[in-house]
Amino acid sequence: MVVPVSVLDAHTELLAAQAIGPSAPVTDIGQGRGPAWLDGWLAENNRELVSWRRALHARPELARQERLSTSLVATRLTAAGLKPQILPSGTGLTCDIGTGDHCVALRADLDALPLREQTGLPFASGVDGVMHACGHDAHTAMLLGAGLALANAPKLPGRVRLIFQPAEEVQPGGAIDMVAAGVMKDVERIFALHCDPRLPVGQLGTKVGPITSACDLLEVRLTSPGGHTSRPHLTADLVHALGTLITQLPSLLSRRVDPRTGTVLVWGAVEAGQAANAVPQNGVLRGTLRTGDHQIWTELEPLVRSLVTALLAPIGVGYVLEHTRGVPPVDNEPLSSGLLHDAAVAALGPDGATSTEQSSGGEDFAWYLEEVPGAMGRLGVWSGEGPMKDLHQATFDLDERALPVGVRVLVHAALASLAA
């Protein structure tokens, strides 16, 4: 269920815009490729498009706290005569544009990451320890631009639903909340873009089939009576048990799962003990388990549990395994992927579309694809000069010329889908 916007914080948006100063004009790489109303809208609003991204960047918000970001988007949509619907939580919103039985959805994510920004940008994060290091500020600005541009179209052959989703960076993610709120009702197809610093501005990477991987979280808590390291035979050697899991569980998985699925377990944290001559009583091991295959993802939890039990049985430690299922792979449906590819060509020219590889990263856009066909594309944000600053790094930044490119691709994808 969603509720109508009743109170809009336009003052917050104004303060954010004033704080970052005027934005520089941005070259529209696809200018002149039509339709004419889209060319006209971008020519008039390029500067504002950049201002939205910078305002969001300067005021980042963590997962399920995106109230100011939600307000900024809702304020702009309402000012254009549209009727955005904010979720009851106060974070995340949807907005329908046009009329008709056919409905296509476009999705962006709102949340930032718990990182301390190190870019030195004049509009760098004003929130200590929080940063837009994954391009969600750009995703939101591009979808807002696409929506306002579509609202200026002479006539749409159906409805376009804008989905501004909270909490993509956590598990369980905000896509589950959006689906539960009914935002996919009547939607026939859905698209999304994600910034890719490995592609130059002016290109969109597309792929049929899985483009991301499933990602689960594992936490194993071990217990032992503890004891002296001179007498490990009189206790249960907890550190040895941790080492056994660290080395043997990934190895066994590689022998029990088809290696072509890209299934990989990597440990990220281990904690146990303080004294060199004492067997500790407690320890914990945490890691991520990823796979590129949807079917394998559904089978991993019982397999992991059986292997952990077998590995720890001879050692005698107690354990609790928490296997948190995260997200399935984003599996691009063939027709939708083709529409997104053609949208890039229509928006940017024959060199605008390129192929891309499957990533081991997770993305909760996958939950929408459990409901309807759709596709995600990778939008180039590298300037073509200097290092490629990777996602989730404190130095990440993007070339803002990608913003109107993203607007063009989203608009063309929506129009092509409604006409299909």
| pLDDT tens per residue across span 382-412 | 999 988 889 999 999 999 999 999 999 999 9
Q: Where are the beta strands (DSSP E) in 175-263?
A: 189-200, 204-206, 209-210, 214-223, 227-228
Fold of the domain built from segment(s) 3-210+329-419: Aminopeptidase (3.40.630)
Residue 16 pLDDT greater than 70, yes or no: no
- Band (2; pLDDT cuts 50, 70, 90): low
Write down the pLDDT at residue 79. 96
3-state helix, strand, coil in the chain (%, to 5): 35, 25, 40
Separation CA 116–CA 81 (nearest Å): 37
Write down the pLDDT at residue 420. 85
The model's pLDDT over 88-147, given as tens digits with 9 standing for 90+, comes to 999 999 999 999 999 999 999 999 999 999 999 999 999 999 999 999 999 999 999 999
Closest to 290 (Cα-Cα) out of 199, 366, 354: 366
Residue 157 pLDDT greater than 80, yes or no: yes
- The contacts of residue 259 (CB under 8 Å, 6+ apart) are none
**In the predicted model, what is the mean pLDDT of residues 167-181?**
94
Write down the pLDDT at residue 25. 63
- Band (40; pLDDT cuts 50, 70, 90): very high
- Band (26; pLDDT cuts 50, 70, 90): confident
First vs last C-alpha separation in the chain = 29
Instruction: Tell me the pTM.
Output: 0.90
On whether the CB atoms of residues 49 and 145 are closer than 8 A, the answer is yes
Write down the pLDDT at residue 307. 98
Write down the pLDDT at residue 33. 85
Percent of the chain with pLDDT over 70: 94
Bond preceding residue 35 cis, omega within 30 of 0: yes
**In the predicted model, what is the mean pLDDT of residues 24-51?**
89
Residue 53 pLDDT greater than 90, yes or no: yes
Match 């990778």 to its residue by tokens. Answer: 378
Residue 78 pLDDT greater than 80, yes or no: yes
- The contacts of residue 365 (CB under 8 Å, 6+ apart) are 107, 168, 175, 192, 330, 374, 376
Separation CA 337–CA 376 (nearest Å): 8
- Band (18; pLDDT cuts 50, 70, 90): very low
Question: Which CATH number is associated with domain 214-327?
Answer: 3.30.70.360
Helix (H, G, I), strand (E, B) or coil at 92: coil
Provide φ and ψ at 301, rounded to 5°: -60, -50
On whether the CB atoms of residues 133 and 147 are closer than 8 A, the answer is no
Q: What is the mean pLDDT of the chain?
A: 93
The model's pLDDT over 277-293, given as tens digits with 9 standing for 90+, comes to 999 999 999 999 999 99
**In the predicted model, what is the mean pLDDT of residues 247-252?**
98
**In the predicted model, what is the mean pLDDT of residues 6-30?**
56
The model's pLDDT over 286-324, given as tens digits with 9 standing for 90+, comes to 999 999 999 999 999 999 999 999 999 999 999 999 999
| Number of other residues whose CB lies within 10 A of the CB of residue 24 | 10
Greater model confidence, 391 or 4? 391
Write down the pLDDT at residue 23. 60
- Band (24; pLDDT cuts 50, 70, 90): low
Which pairs with CB-CB distance under 8 Å and at least 24 residues apart come from 25-29?
26/50, 26/400, 26/401, 26/403, 26/404, 27/401, 28/401, 28/404, 28/405, 28/408, 29/201, 29/202, 29/348, 29/401, 29/404, 29/405
Query: In the chain, what are the domain boundaries?
Result: 3-210+329-419, 214-327
Residue 223 pLDDT greater than 80, yes or no: yes
Match 């092509």 to its residue by tokens. Answer: 416
What are the angstrom distances between the C-alpha of 256 and each of 186, 251, 299, 303, 338? Answer: 41, 9, 11, 9, 35
